[in-house]
Amino acid sequence: MTLTINSEIYASLLAKYQPKVIKTDAENETAIALAEELAHRLNKTSEESALLELLIALIEKYEDETYPMGDSSPHSLLLHLMEVRGLKQADLVGILGSSGVTSEVIHGKREISQSQAKALGDFFKVEPGLFI
């Protein structure tokens, strides 16, 4: 289904937020904050949805170029995200389950389940499929 966009309203949104190619981590954080705000907005307009889609494309382009993941495994991605955010194993117990399960996941002795992947995706604000 294609949404109809009012070009005047969309132009107004573009003028207000001025999305552009992201070149720094600070610009990326600003774009992420706006994308999160739009993503959680109830009753989004077609124009807001289009802006959100544009922001996501810009964020993904920046992050793919700045933080290439290559052929990383779900386990190495989890360890990387934990390191970047300064998290310890105990910080993920509420997300992964018990401390025993969390330990097994962190040490690569247990695969990440689909429900855990969804919870990790929500927590780290990334696509859950990266953990499967």
The better pLDDT of the pair 6, 3 is held by: 6
Look up residue 132 and give its two tokens.
């499967």
Cα separation values, 116 from 16, 21, 105, Å: 38, 33, 10
Q: What is the pLDDT of residue 109?
A: 93
Which residues in 1-132 belong to E strands, given as ranges?
Answer: none
pLDDT at 2 over 90: no
In single-letter form, the type of residue at position 127 comes to: E
Integer Cα distance of 73 and 71 in angstroms: 7
What's the full length of the chain, in residues? 132
Q: What is the pLDDT of residue 84?
A: 85
* Segment 19-74, tens digit of pLDDT: 999 999 999 999 999 999 999 999 999 999 999 999 999 999 998 888 776 667 88
* Segment 67-115, tens digit of pLDDT: 776 667 888 889 989 988 899 999 999 999 899 999 999 998 999 999 9
Q: What is the pLDDT of residue 73?
A: 85
Backbone angles phi, psi at 5, to 5 degrees: -115, 130
Q: What is the pLDDT of residue 66?
A: 86
Look up residue 42 and give its two tokens.
């109830």
Contacts 24+ apart (CB under 8 A), 61-68: 61/21, 61/22, 62/21, 62/22, 62/23, 62/27, 62/28, 62/31, 63/28, 66/25, 66/28
